[in-house]
Structure 1
Amino acid sequence: MNNTLFQPLQLGRHTLNNRIVMPPMTRSRATQPGNEANEIMATYYAQRASAGLIVAEGTQISPMGQGYAWTPGIYTQAQIDGWKKTTAAVHEKGGVIFAQLWHVGRVTHPDNIGGEQPISSSALKAEGVKVFIDNCTQEPGFVDVVEPREMTKADIQMVIAQYRQAALNAIEAGFDGIELHAANGYLVNQFIDSEANNRTDEYGGSIENRLRFLNEVVSALVEAVGADRVGVRLAPFTSLNGTVDATPAETYTAAAALLNKHNIVYLHIAEVDWDDAPETPNSFKHAVRKAFSGVLIYAGKYDAEKAQKTVADGLADMIGFGRPYVANPDLPERIRNGYALADHDPATLFGGAEQGLTDYRVYAASA
């Protein structure tokens, strides 16, 4: 049977070998101090370069953008140089890799941002949300987030400029493009979703106003590096990190139409993926497909069969497989041949070194 996941696809200036995406996954292995990408991260991504597209882990655009201990940044020259190791290693294996640009907004703790108070669309605490800090051991220490302060107009312009510079830094580091992280309850999402945004100015209230920050950030990114190197990730129906929208189908269909006007190269939608989570409505997927004409990626609870059907039905062009990529560096080959998938060790997801990052074997070696 002709597997739709293994048909080539044009993504901007790149012809991809397959429709399988390694989506961004925080692994917290950056070198300290300095939050710099390093050799073991380069090995990790190079091992997985057979993906049609890799989107590297969330990478903070500034010191204030960091939500968790040991995550990499892309705002210093040392960080840029660190990422060059990863991009060179992936390109040597024939892979395509985008950087995910990340600002967490309120989803952090002063210990992760130099003692500062976090910033957000509004002075609303993300209730029940914890992040991990460096507590001077090998194990991350989980703490409650704190109440942020509402961003001023000057803050907004400063952060937009930081996104723009981070995009330029990513291209200098050798990335093939960038993905704006506008999902999972982080800063851009805090402007979009109605229950996280109680502003009364032009950045709050109506859907158009709540999409304004997204619009301005994407405008800056496109101007900096070109629309063919910009993707955006959204999470319409999740409530991750306490961020909820009252009318998600309406809000995110409007977001897809807005992003289509920018002619960005792809839209990456994170579906709800916890146990017993509701399925993303097919009516919404059809509406997004109608609103957005670029490459459309979905990720969340996909197995090979569901992924192939979704692409064959025309609802998506590519599918992201998150957790399976942790323990299966050769995931496309396993999917192609129907090989069994290895399970990852949850205890080694965050922090540490090679164990649980680069020591998972390809199928032939594990059989």
Structure 2
Amino acid sequence: MTDQATSTIVPVKLGDRSYDILIGGGLIERAGQEIVSRAGKTMRAAIVSDETVAGLHLERLQAGLTAAGIESTPVVVAPGEQSKCFATLETVTNAILAARLERGDIVIAFGGGVIGDLAGFAAGIARRGMGFVQIPTSLLAQVDSSVGGKTGINTAHGKNLVGVFYQPQLVLADTDVLNTLSLREFRAGYAEVAKYGLIDRPDFFAWLEANWRGIFDGGPERTQAIAIACQSKADVVERDEFEMGDRALLNLGHTFGHALETATKYDSSRLVHGEGVSIGMVLAHQFSAKMNLASPDDALRVEKHLRDVGLPVSINEIQGQLPPAEKLMEYIAQDKKVTRGTLTFILTRGIGQSFIAKDVPPSAVLSFLKEKHPA
């Protein structure tokens, strides 16, 4: 990590696909000059955003792009997880083509994780691949989904089952924009921050336990936490870009969490992604303890910290009726972490000691889900 002007820079080193993550204030206004300075030329851009983010920030972004000589066309979709679908993907790609953008032009993802996944997928397939820049506006997107090149949409069969690996050319994480998030959205993003400590950085998790209030209040701890999280993800992506090995560790809590999101039909009034991850990480630690892999005290510690920051930590906290445990198992079996029908989970031997567990017995998972299911 290096500092340049008022931004912290985290490089993602992937050979000829390497790029920088810039973290700091005022990056929306400076986006045009940052893009042009790296590209060495001006180009045109499609800005894919949602109605909420566009209403708050689009005018400032477009002004900064125009000042740098970048002509832009906004493509605004409905907010929420339900926009990650084939129909909206078609709308976005058609809008990019209708604007007569060429391969040398760029698609800018300007929003949270939904927009990043959707716009990145569109950038990867429009004209067989266009330039792509991420400007994530949620904490979750800044520390997770904007980094590493995973893009995609959801289907009735599960979350993120259709997509491509497509790296951005630049990520601009403007910390000022996080002040416009609701507390619920910020908490949801914080779950992904905590995840990096639980994977393999126990000292970072302990630091979060002591400093989370500063992160929520917008102190210097916020930028520090984002930079550490981005560096953590960059390190993993550099080792395993296409998720053939270590990168699967980034899915800690996600196999349970994705099943819960599918069970709620991606209804954000009931459950948002970071909340599913929070519950999923607690379940992963509890299941590890049940399998005698880790101490129950570790699961209690994870549960306490996530509860302290206001995140849900159990299936019981999801509003409305859920399908039975057997149906949740079907969603887990459909999850993309399954290889030839065998269950692969990210389990743990303790705080910061996560590992990839293959061939997890489905019967043990089902028994565990029945214990935890509110029914």
TM-score, with normalisation over the residues of structure 1? 0.30
Looking at secondary structure, tell me which structure has more helix per residue: 2
TM-score, with normalisation over the residues of structure 2? 0.30
Structure with greater contact order relative to length (CA < 8 Å, sep ≥ 6): 1
